[in-house]
Structure 1
Amino acid sequence: MNRTVVITGATSGIGRAAAREFAGRGDRLVLAARSPATLAEVRDECRAAGADVLVVPVDVTAPGALAALADAAEAEFGAIDAWVHTAAVMTYGRFDETPAEVFDQVIRTDLLAAAEVARVALGRFRAASAGTLVLTGSVLGHITAPYMSGYVAAKWGLQGLTRTLQQEARETPGVRICLVNPGSVDTPVYRQAGNYLGRVGRPPPPITTPERVARAMADCVDRPRREVSVGRLNVVMRFGFTVLPGVYDALVGPLMRLAGLTDRPVAPHPGIVFAPNPAGEAVRGGWLPDVSRVVRSVGGVTAAAGSALLRRLR
């Protein structure tokens, strides 16, 4: 397709899956994230798929970093056709027990950096009268859950910001803004999250794959849509939150402790809120079974059972 696509947050989870997805579609890629070593790994993966790739180590919260990223992209490939923003951090803990500087940095990364991405990208798109911005929201931009106050506040803010930008974009034909809202996704972000709750977090079921979210993002660039929900229970949760708020609030705490937290204890720490952890970066978080291994296991059991049955029949 020969489009130029910028991906911020490209070294792990949804962002890394998106890099692979766009590489497979023949796009030119500008990949940005905090870890130079992991960026090099993702670059090699995408080049192996046949993509032209530029990597730019970037902290999305650093002043001027995103404008410099856009300049580098344009210098290498010309005009930017699409910008996919996936960079995000998370922390677990009661609001009053989470250090203020950690909470503030979650807001800075998940909301204010997304706003700066929009500011930079839309300026370039307006000048070219073309371009698609894809932002990564969450079902938690429509509902709430305890122990994740910073992330929830940021995603609610991003929901409002995106809706406003979409209204303003009606005045700029050719410029499209999309919001992709995943539910639980099998990424490393839960283990990489800051934690002041004492128990490691996990994605509550049902869990989808980052590859599915990446496909939704690529589809938005192909055929822009205002908002896309990825997750089987997203609509159900939003209905309960809106129509049955008392019931929802009574159930969400126990369900979060049961399905959203593991039993593994953990000492207080900021996770990757302030700095990356390259050792923990990957597409998948290991929360879903390895399907190929399951298939092989089932195949082996089936073959063994078939052999045993044949022996009995002889």
Structure 2
Amino acid sequence: MEQNGGATGPRWAVGGRGECPVSGQVVVVTGASGGIGRATAVAFARRGDRVALLARGEKGLAAAADEVRAVGGTALVLPVDVADAAAVDDAADRVEAELGPIDVWVNVAFTAVFAPFADITAAEYARVTEVTYLGVVHGTMAALSRMRPRDRGVIVQTGSALGRRGVPLQSAYCGAKHAVKGFTEALHTELKGQSSNVHVTRVDLPGVNTPQFDWVLNKMPKTPQPVAPIYAPELMAAALVHAAEHPTRRAWWVGLPTVYTVLGNEVWPQFMDWYLARTGKDGQLTGVDASPDDPSNLWEPADGPDGRDFGAEGRFSDQQWTRDPQIWASRHHGALAAAGAAGLAGLAVLRRRR
């Protein structure tokens, strides 16, 4: 069965295992000027997709567009603040007018404040929530309003291990990511109840080597870092592309730290409280002194008129993981389960023969 994509022709072949992409999709990526969003835009472009890049930072967007074109994709740059619902909807109109009907929408954009809760102002808390949570809501609204009449499309939400377990110094970000989880689960059930062919899936990620730790609003005396092990943004981008290609799975856990964080908090949350109270703060700080001149992207993009293009990777490239067996296992869990069941059945037969 094929579902047509209007003037641009067929884009989806739908089978019993869910949607399988064909070439030339229209993909929207928010937060595309740097970090995971930028790596994700490039990863989709490698498939030959037409990619709309949404973010505030125009230097980063321009550089990301060059990278998209360099690997064979088509780039449409749309400077937008995802906290502005009307601006996001207008951007979606431009995408469909210039690239065609949207097939995949990936919500990546976020911001954060790195500080104890008592040191975060109400305005800062609201801003993190507006971008990191409501930005996902706004992107989903824009995508869904266009996908539902066509009864096809995929929305990918970038979740986090910190959306399953809160940690010190990141209360605003953790709260927003927990909200993304609850919102996405509610939407998933609504679409399922309507027997919709529009799919929404969430990908929970671990600590990643992105420029976030160069431009986050930091109120600590030392500069921040991801909790080890640190993953390459390109590896996370591949996970998001894979999720878009297999959207009938409701959620993905990416990386060993995500698995043990989620399971640890489910099995023994009191231990997690104790452990993070003892180690969570120091584990997120480097030995490098912070400076009042450090960039911050909370209110304005860090790559403003006097800023620079930060790229996809942060300053921890010498420490980052570029592979993880858990990611392979997560993608092939069905085959692994079948192999395990076959092995157990074989053992049972051998025992009976003895």
* Superposition TM-score, scaled by structure 1 size: 0.89
Size of the aligned set, in residue pairs, is: 291
Instruction: Work out which of the residue numbers 45, 55, 64 in structure 2 matches 1:42.
Output: 64
Which residue of 1 is the match for residue 277 of structure 2? Answer: 253
Shift in alpha-carbon separation, 1:215–1:60, aligned structure 2, 3 A: same
1-structure distance, mates of 2:47, 2:65? 15
Q: Shift of the alpha carbon at 1:82?
A: 0.5
Shift in alpha-carbon separation, 1:183–1:290, aligned structure 2, 3 A: closer
Which residue of 2 is the match for residue 281 of structure 1? Answer: 310
Q: Secondary structure at the match of 2:280?
A: helix
Across the aligned residues of Structure 1 and Structure 2, the Cα RMSD in angstroms comes to 1.6
Which residue of 2 is the match for residue 231 of structure 1? Answer: 255
Cα deviation code 1:105-144 (max 9, x no counterpart): 0011000111111111111110111110011110011101
CA contact (8 A) 1:94 1:147 kept: yes
1:142-157 mapped onto 2 (5 Å cutoff): 142-157=164-179
1:132-171 mapped onto 2 (5 Å cutoff): 132-170=154-192, 171=194
* Superposition TM-score, scaled by structure 2 size: 0.79
Which residue of 1 is the match for residue 75 of structure 2? Answer: 53
Which residue of 2 is the match for residue 75 of structure 1? Answer: 97
Instruction: Work out which of the residue numbers 80, 89, 92 in structure 1 matches 2:114.
Output: 92
Q: Which runs of 4+ in 1 moved over 3 A?
A: 267-270
CA contact (8 A) 2:213 2:223 kept: yes
CA contact (8 A) 1:195 1:270 kept: no
Shift in alpha-carbon separation, 1:162–1:128, aligned structure 2, 3 A: same
CA contact (8 A) 1:201 1:260 kept: yes
Structure 1 unmatched runs, 5+: 292-314
Query: Quick one: which amino acid aligns to residue 218 of structure 1?
Result: V
Shift in alpha-carbon separation, 1:145–1:280, aligned structure 2, 3 A: farther
Q: Shift of the alpha carbon at 1:257?
A: 2.6
1:23-38 mapped onto 2 (5 Å cutoff): 23-38=45-60
CA contact (8 A) 1:126 1:172 kept: no
Q: Shift of the alpha carbon at 1:78?
A: 1.7
Query: Quick one: which amino acid aligns to residue 106 of structure 1?
Result: V
Structure 2 unmatched runs, 5+: 1-22, 321-354
Q: Secondary structure at the match of 2:300?
A: coil
Instruction: Work out which of the residue numbers 98, 106, 113 in structure 1 matches 2:135.
Output: 113
Shift in alpha-carbon separation, 1:263–1:290, aligned structure 2, 3 A: closer
Q: Which one has the bigger helix percentage?
A: 1
Query: Quick one: which amino acid aligns to residue 35 of structure 2?
Result: G
Cα deviation code 1:227-250 (max 9, x no counterpart): 111121212122222222222111
Q: Shift of the alpha carbon at 1:32?
A: 1.1
Instruction: Work out which of the residue numbers 226, 229, 237 in structure 2 matches 1:206.
Output: 229
Which residue of 1 is the match for residue 243 of structure 2? Answer: 220
CA contact (8 A) 2:230 2:319 kept: no
Query: Quick one: which amino acid aligns to residue 311 of structure 2?
Result: A
Q: Secondary structure at the match of 1:143?
A: coil
2-structure distance, mates of 1:212, 1:266? 29
1-structure distance, mates of 2:219, 2:299? 15
